Amino acid sequence: MKFTFFTIFAIILAPFVVLAAPATTTEHPKPTEPPKSTIAPSKPTTVPTKFDGYSKCQVQGFKVNRIAIVRCCVQNHGSSQIQGNTFLCRVPIGREGYYRKCIYDLHYATTTSCKYY
């Protein structure tokens, strides 16, 4: 008698194979509720402020004429503050370019940066 690989394999596994009978129950599972989300939508922590149409320009320089810098700010419809070697000027948007040019024309070694708030 000639045995093939599959026949030997079937003889070895035959004691371990359990044939399961098909389920004869006709009960339908009860509908379940959809899973509740564990992640709640987050609320913003800060309320965004209304944009006021001004940009805040900061000028830093060493041994500059404070009056001239403040005059440039006022000429461009801004309000200024002085903190040491830093000058803060709030100018309307569209005027910050003129403000930068006015500072540049003073020929001081300064850096000017403007941010929108």
Tell me the pLDDT tens digit for each residue of 30-51.
666 665 655 555 555 554 556 6
Query: 91: which DSSP letter?
Result: E
Kindly state the average pLDDT of the residues 69-82: 90
Q: Three-class SS of residue 50? A: coil
Give the domain ranges of the chain.
54-116
What kind of architecture, by CATH, is found in domain 54-116? 2-Layer Sandwich (3.30)
Cβ atoms within 10 Å of 114's Cβ, excluding its own? 18
What pLDDT is attached to residue 22?
56
| pLDDT tens-digit readout, 96-106 | 899 999 999 98
pTM of the model: 0.53
Positions of E strands within the chain: 54-61, 79-83, 86-92, 110-116
